[in-house]
Homo-oligomer: A and B are copies of this chain.
């Protein structure tokens, strides 16, 4: 089978503009597409059965069997392969030293209805998360602990932003993400088995050795405010992670991981 590569030489080419626009959330929403950068991320995607609609290759790339495999997959699925200069890849990615492999993907589904809670004993639930790096890191942690997925509550940062995708190290393609508001989430949660666990300073319950059920939904609050009081009140269990220093909170992705590994150890 012949691989057809479309050469792109002009900065004003509509495909360049369209790809570049995906760095901004409003364009991602409108187009229903997102960007992922680098051979490693795109290979994770391909191995998860997710192939970009558009594959961008730098002329300066080194030959690599994983690039060949990507090209075959994109070609098989009827996607487009573009070949272009480092300068144009820099324009698309907004970086001086762009990756030589870039993909434009159709948005992945994020409906709560597709979450199957029987798939895992651990789920992460993040409320009003603001930082894309934290979001991506939580996805990476979900992968590591075998969590079922990440449920984003209320107004969270976009899971398909370039920064979140990068921080996930590919887990955005393998770990299910759902988006819902609080009322919708609680309705869904209470329609089946599941323990809602919040981390809080308002409890004497140490997180270590608490009584975790399965499936356990670990609720992590916003970076600046933590969990709203009513959200804490809705939890089946509140636990406290020891804070021995001056600060009263951990980084959100760190708190999620400390909790997730504790639950994993208890459930194993």
- Tell me the A residues contacting B by CB distance below 8 Å: 44, 47-48, 133, 137, 140-146, 167, 169-171, 174-175, 208, 241-247, 249-251, 253-254, 257-258, 261, 264-265
Contacts and interface: CB of A to CB of B under 8 A. Distances in A.
- Which secondary structure dominates chain A's binding surface? helix
A146 B245 contact: yes
How many of these chains are in the complex? 2
A261 B241 contact: yes
A254 B143 contact: no
Contact of A140 (B145, B174, B250, B258): B250
B247 A140 contact: yes
Contacts of A44: 246
Contact of A171 (B247, B253, B261): B247
Given A133-B133, A261-B258, A174 B246 contact: yes
Nearest to A136: B251
Contact of A244 (B146, B242, B246, B265): B146
A209 B247 CA distance: 27
A144 B257 contact: no
Contact of A258 (B142, B245, B258): B258
Given A133-B133, A261-B241, A261-B258, A251 B146 contact: no
A137 B254 contact: yes
A208 B243 CA distance: 20
A243 B144 contact: yes
Contacts of A249: 169
A244 B208 contact: no
Nearest to A174: B246
Contacts of A250: 140-141, 144, 257
A26 to B, nearest CB: 17
